[in-house]
Amino acid sequence: MREQFEVRNHDGMGRLGRLEVPRADQTVETPALLPVVNPNVLTIEPRRLREEFGAEILITNSYIIRNTDRVRERALEEGLHELLGFDGAIMTDSGSFQLAEYGDIDVTTEEILEFQRAIGSDIGTPVDIPTPPDVDRETAVSDLAETKDALAEAETVDTGEMLVNAPVQGSTYPDLREEAGSHAAATDLDVFPVGAVVPMMNGYRYADMVEAVLGAKRGLGPAAPVHLFGAGHPMMLALAVACGCDLFDSAAYALMARDGRYLTVSGTEQLEELRHFPCSCPVCAEHTPADVRGAPDDETERLLAEHNLHVTFEEMRRIKQAIASGNLMELVERRARGHPRMLDGYRTLLDHAEQVEAHDPVSKGSFFYLSRESARRPEVARYHDRIERLPVPDSLLLTQSKAPSDHDFDEAWRVWPPFGPAPAALSETYPLTATVPERADPDLQRAAAAGVARLVAANPEADVTLAHDDWDERALAAVPDAVTLENLAELHR
Amino acid sequence: MREQFEVRNHDGMGRLGRLEVPRADQTVETPALLPVVNPNVLTIEPRRLREEFGAEILITNSYIIRNTDRVRERALEEGLHELLGFDGAIMTDSGSFQLAEYGDIDVTTEEILEFQRAIGSDIGTPVDIPTPPDVDRETAVSDLAETKDALAEAETVDTGEMLVNAPVQGSTYPDLREEAGSHAAATDLDVFPVGAVVPMMNGYRYADMVEAVLGAKRGLGPAAPVHLFGAGHPMMLALAVACGCDLFDSAAYALMARDGRYLTVSGTEQLEELRHFPCSCPVCAEHTPADVRGAPDDETERLLAEHNLHVTFEEMRRIKQAIASGNLMELVERRARGHPRMLDGYRTLLDHAEQVEAHDPVSKGSFFYLSRESARRPEVARYHDRIERLPVPDSLLLTQSKAPSDHDFDEAWRVWPPFGPAPAALSETYPLTATVPERADPDLQRAAAAGVARLVAANPEADVTLAHDDWDERALAAVPDAVTLENLAELHR
């Protein structure tokens, strides 16, 4: 374990944790949202970020501070916390973003880390290379080599109590992300941002984002605190937490507000086009869209920024509660219906059910079957694996109805869609306690049929009869030929 | 059209409308939520309901007022508006609920309507028979006959400017709901509550609720303002509005608060079990769950009731905005993932795509494909019908990629999953402008294949080639044998 980070609860790869920030002498609850504060434009006073929004940590840009004479002098004299008026933890970025945007910056990792330490940053960042998506593999590899050099340089700098970020790059190559993650985890640096995902998110490429994060996570391992750099739109937070990210930063709240854009958990709206606010945050409870449009420009921008930040922190609280309740995947299911590309992202996460399953608690509060995607959740895969290890008698009745008291089989087991057959002793245990639709659902039936097939494959000598409730032909096609079928609906006619 | 009710925007069967309430000299925007006010227990002062929550109308129970001496005298002397301190519109219930609960009440329709008029109600209610679900058909029929008698009696009472409800009963028999709806619409009464759905909602029987409402709607027709009596949980409002309901009333906000329950758009939480509030309403922005638990009991109840009401009005604004934006079905898709039985309800609504389609605007802002259910939306059914009417040349290439500039066919059309083939002139029109997932999706492909099949069925003489993007075998199975297949993925290999 990395000593500054402690994971307290898991749900899939999502977790509730605590990050100790020694220089600030504070502990940050994760998942955490870091509002991005532009030292030159305080859209919302940092003091209010803490008091009214509950921000425990924020992020600002040390490169901008270093290159702005007036601010640099104050930061060096008073320190960042005094400069910004914020007594929580402060992370600083290094100028890597500017490097990616403008192609060149005038500072080295050593210089910027020393500057970050000098102005009192609590978590500093080296100058890594944020490789954009879709570059050719050679570029991704050579950029990654430069990032590794930056991490090596960072390890040599005396940073005192300041924690140091070790960014994980690799563009759209999951294997490079994994390699970069392994390399970063082997340094003595502290926090692990997955970098250069902003272009993916701007392009709604959530499937690529999931692949990049899961690649990085395979390399980083479960002990590393992971920051999804530049990610703060409320619509993607649940998916990213479910991929194992712990820290997020939002510049979106302020940048979007400047353009008249209004964030929601299912996308971005234009203030111009809203007749009603789909929110009850303090801004939206007290104003109509017409009120906000009619305010002076800077007031409109501030109100929008406040709403944007409220809805983002609200989603973060919802995510924390979901992990505590063990229903993060249900939240991800809901968010996957915000946009077709979010569904792509969720389906990509389900492609990696095995990776997720390794971290998932064996028992949780509930399992809701909410879509055909639910049949691909890690809990279903795990139960199908478990079926193979169940002791099976010579002759076995599997039935969807209550097991009959009188039968000629050695045992009678219930079948629990989407999981499959289970002996009576398991039937009150998670996940068989799932809540499923009452209407017939071919996907549910097919998943249960796959469970039956696993049982038969592991016990080819057993004599198995399946009494099903009028299953769809696609589900029946997944039941092995050796199984005797009885249709309960026909029996009852 | 019924003169007091005007529909201004449609989205599916959902609508934005205006209900004129002449006795209150006010117009209520619909869909509207009527907070239930118990005249003996004002959990939240009615004045605040209007000022802080935006309630334009509330509902209270005239039977309770009539049977509580102290309150009755004040109501008769001062009038309801003065008694409650509310200057919006006020609807009154009749005691039918008490009849259903306790089996007997001591008042007739004539008496209670005259009393409601006397205390200054703006919308009164006769004594109908709220038949519970699952009764035998004879009981449902004989109860309905009594309800029809109550409506006939109500028509004879001199109610002045007071509007009068005409409840629609019929238990779980959609055809009786339809008959009851036709009968009610033929009276000269004004507002049409679909009654006795509370037991369905308490049992999460959203599929039955949808059948009951759609049955009633078939009888009532589009001009009737429809009230879903007793329905006010935020999780089901979007589905109910999509079924064509205009008015809702919430006692849940206060009753749930009394039991320590906290409402959300995806279900009900226990205050005891919350660590974080998944909300940013004024209550949740200023308090933690521990704060609210630690307050004196009546303060805890009031804070919970305020949250419950905020989240309910928030959802109502979200629904209104969705209708204005033309994406109500996308909101229903999201809400269908709140609970497996909500998914049952949504799938039941899709069973009636033809009924919904008759009311849906031909063009809307966007169509998001968010699940396999999206392929059953009314827009897909409508486009498939349209395909049959398209003029088709003798030889036709249907292709998922951009149509080649050089080919030997008379015409080349793009195929747009989930809709199917379209000539170039249509390709920029709704719903072909849909946003769909980028990952391969067999359900999307299968819906497009159904569109191809409709085209071929209507034009059996045409020579059709389909160039598809590596479709799943289940999708290809839906393409008629007469169609020549080309796999674009193989061509490009």
Q: What is the pLDDT of residues B215-258, one digit of tens each?
A: 999 999 999 999 999 999 999 999 999 999 999 999 999 999 99
Q: Is A318 on the interface with B (CB under 8 A)?
A: yes
- Residue B360 CA to residue B382 CA, distance in Å, equals 10
CA-to-CA dists, residue B283 to A163, B42, B253, B307, angstroms:
36, 18, 14, 6
Q: What sign does the dihedral B319-B323-B324-B330 (CA atoms) show? A: positive
The encoded tokens of residue B357 equal: 């389609």
pLDDT given at position A359: 85
pLDDT, tens digit, 9 for 90 and up, residues A469-493: 999 999 999 999 999 999 998 876 6
Q: Is A349 on the interface with B (CB under 8 A)?
A: no
B386's CB contacts (< 8 A; 6+ apart) are none
Mean pLDDT of B186-190: 98
User: Where residue B3 falls among pLDDT bands split at 50, 70, 90?
Assistant: confident
Q: Which of A278, A320, A338 sits opposite B276 (nearest CB)?
A: A320
Contacting residues of A for B278, CB less than 8 Å apart:
314, 317-318, 321-322
Which of B53, B272, B276 should one mutate to test binding to chain A, selecting the residue with the greatest count of A CBs within 10 A? Answer: B276
pLDDT, tens digit, 9 for 90 and up, residues B346-365: 999 999 999 999 888 888 87
pLDDT, tens digit, 9 for 90 and up, residues A343-355: 999 999 999 999 9
Which stretches does DSSP call E strand in B265-365? Answer: 267-270
pLDDT mean across residues, chain B: 96
A329's CB contacts (< 8 A; 6+ apart) are A11, A12, A242, A377
Are the Cβ atoms of A278 and B318 closer than 8 angstroms? Answer: yes
Indicate yes or no: pTM above 0.90.
yes
- Inter-residue contact A63 to A107 (CB < 8 Å): yes
- Classify the phi-psi angles of B261: left when phi > 0, otherwise alpha if psi is within -120 to 50, otherwise beta: beta
Catalytic residue flag (residue B344): no
Element (H, E) at B374: none
- Residue A179 CA to residue A5 CA, distance in Å, equals 22
Q: Residue A1 pLDDT more than 60?
A: no
Are the Cβ atoms of B321 and A276 closer than 8 angstroms? Answer: yes
Are the Cβ atoms of B278 and A344 closer than 8 angstroms? Answer: no
Q: Is A27 on the interface with B (CB under 8 A)?
A: no
Output DSSP code: residue B24: G
Nearest to B338 by CA among B402, B267, B386: B267
Are the Cβ atoms of A368 and B339 closer than 8 angstroms? Answer: yes
Q: Residue B308 pLDDT more than 70?
A: yes
Which stretches does DSSP call E strand in B79-160? Answer: 89-93, 123-124
Q: What is the ipTM of this complex?
A: 0.96
Q: How far is B91 from chain A (nearest CA, A)?
A: 25
Q: Is B18 on the interface with A (CB under 8 A)?
A: no
Are the Cβ atoms of A280 and B314 closer than 8 angstroms? Answer: yes
Q: How far is B440 from chain A (nearest CA, A)?
A: 9
Report the Cα B433 to chain-centroid distance in Å. 26
A115's CB contacts (< 8 A; 6+ apart) are A62, A66, A107
One-letter amino acid identity for B87?
D
Q: Residue A414 pLDDT more than 60?
A: yes
Q: Is B404 on the interface with A (CB under 8 A)?
A: no
Catalytic residue among B69, B87, B93, B122: B93
A238's CB contacts (< 8 A; 6+ apart) are A315, A318, A319, A322, A328, A331, A332, A335
pLDDT, tens digit, 9 for 90 and up, residues B120-176: 999 999 999 999 999 999 999 999 999 999 999 999 999 999 999 999 999 999 999
- Inter-residue contact A23 to A162 (CB < 8 Å): yes
pLDDT, tens digit, 9 for 90 and up, residues A355-380: 999 888 888 878 999 999 999 999 99
* Backbone phi and psi for residue B90, each to the nearest 5 degrees, phi listed first: -130, 125
Q: What sign does the dihedral B174-B180-B185-B189 (CA atoms) show? A: negative
Q: Is A403 on the interface with B (CB under 8 A)?
A: no
Are the Cβ atoms of B281 and A276 closer than 8 angstroms? Answer: no
Mean pLDDT of A327-354: 97
**H helices present in A395-486, as ranges:** 442-458, 473-477
Contacting residues of B for A266, CB less than 8 Å apart:
330, 334
pLDDT, tens digit, 9 for 90 and up, residues A123-141: 999 999 999 999 999 999 9
pLDDT given at position B1: 54
Are the Cβ atoms of B334 and A339 closer than 8 angstroms? Answer: no
Axis crossing angle, helix A109-118 with helix A137-156, rounded to the nearest 10 = 50
pLDDT given at position A366: 85
A302's CB contacts (< 8 A; 6+ apart) are A43, A44, A257
Q: Which of A278, A279, A334 sits opposite B337 (nearest CB)?
A: A334
Residue A285, Cβ density class (10 Å: 0-12 exposed, 13-18 middle, ≥19 buried): buried
